[in-house]
Structure 1
Amino acid sequence: MFDGHGGPDAAAYVKRHAIRFLFDDAKFPRASSEADKDFVESDLAMAEDCTVSSSSGTTALTALVFGRFLLVANAGDCRAVLCRKGKAVEMSQDHKPIHASERQRVEQCGGFVYDGYLNGVLSVTRALGDWDLKVPPQGSPSPLIAEPEFRHTILTEDDEFLIIGCDGIWDVMSSQYAVSVVRRGLRRHDDPQRCARELVMEALRLNTADNLTVVVVCFSESTAVRLRPVATGSSVPV
């Protein structure tokens, strides 16, 4: 999932070349310690492409399943949430300037956070593109980076589905709230694509101010038949 800002150039570029950058490799799948190079290589290639504005950037989140192994790589504020026995398990961290560890890294690199924005202009601390913000003083690291963070887990029969959504979803609802919305939908109609649309409509009802993209991935052909009821009051409100 690629959520662009500063125009569509960066998101469109990564979308066009994602297969080549992220998956078209003789060593694929690679360990997470090596896979971060794919994000960085995409970022560097974008900097050299004259069709992409230096002020355009995009967040990037990928979720890969190898057998029972789920690997999520994230740079930015899209989020992946796993539903495990009705409970939300966050498979990524939002890279926001207000997050303590990200703020510390930014300030150590000579950047600053003002009113919740990196250097007063950007709402994320990791992204591809945005090369006008990635040119630091000579010899200094940039406060804005393209390196992703990784989380992984072994999937079991308790794992029902995965939600991938951009920040327009998470601005107005918690991860558990989103899981509850999707779970109810799967019980009714067992259609993950329809659940994604319902999640978008719920975010609109809650007056989100950002764009909305959602993907729902089920881990069996019929998720509804194995969904167990969640105890009353277990869902977390917005």
Structure 2
Amino acid sequence: MARSMQSAAIAEFSRALPGFLQSLGSKKSPSDALLEAFVKTDVAFRNELDSHRKSKGVIQKDWHPGCTAIVALIVVNKLFVANAGDCRAMLCRSWQGAYALSKDHVASCPEERERYQ
């Protein structure tokens, strides 16, 4: 599978995230639900990827698809934002400037390197 096809596959698969989020309903806090939905999406894609690798005889190092994602969830009058990768959410208010709602998850960020150690 070509690299662009790999990226397209994970981007398409990431559409499952809202379904995972919806399935959690009000059982969890919005922050916990967002985290769990991201994790469930990642696990489900990895399982599908492993199944595809086994069926095609692909060696793991030959295929490393991935994508970035950002989700905004509004609950009553509160906004929750979660992201994976180097994507950003900004809140712009009329003439008051822009406010960052997320931080990039990239290896060059000291906080990210520390998180993975």
TM-score (normalizing by structure 2): 0.71
Q: Secondary structure at the match of 1:70?
A: strand
Identity %: 33
Which of 60, 83, 89 is matched with 2:92 structurally?
83
- Which residue is equivalent to 1:19? 18
Please say if residues 23 and 29 of structure 1, whose CA atoms lie closer than 8 Å, have aligned partners that are also in contact: no
Change (3 A) 1:24 1:34: closer
Aligned-residue CA RMSD (Å): 2.7
Distance (whole Å) between structure 1 residues aligned to residue 110 and residue 18 of structure 2? 33
- Which residue is equivalent to 1:155? none
After TM superposition, list the pairs within 5 Å mapping 1:97-136 onto structure 2. Answer: 97-106=107-116, 108=117
Q: Does 1:67 align with 2:76?
A: yes
Which amino acid counterpart does residue 100 of structure 1 have in structure 2?
A: P
Q: Does 1:96 align with 2:99?
A: no
Which amino acid counterpart does residue 111 of structure 2 have in structure 1?
A: S
Query: Which of these two proteins has the greater Rg computed from alpha carbons?
Result: 1
Distance (whole Å) between structure 2 residues aligned to residue 80 and residue 8 of structure 1? 22
Which amino acid counterpart does residue 94 of structure 1 have in structure 2?
A: D
Higher strand content, 1 or 2: 1
TM-score (normalizing by structure 1): 0.38
- Which residue is equivalent to 1:44? 43
After TM superposition, list the pairs within 5 Å mapping 1:1-238 onto structure 2. Answer: 6-15=6-15, 17-27=16-26, 30-49=29-48, 50-51=51-52, 54-85=63-94, 86-106=96-116, 108=117
Q: Secondary structure at the match of 2:12?
A: helix
- Which residue is equivalent to 1:158? none
Question: How many corresponding residue pairs?
Answer: 103
Change (3 A) 1:58 1:73: same
Deviation at 1:12, TM superposition (A): 0.8
Q: Residues 16-75 of structure 1: CA distance to partner in whole angstroms, max 9, x if unpaired?
A: x23321223342673313431111111111111135885111112100122321110111
Change (3 A) 1:23 1:34: closer
Please say if residues 79 and 94 of structure 1, whose CA atoms lie closer than 8 Å, have aligned partners that are also in contact: yes
Higher helix content, 1 or 2: 2
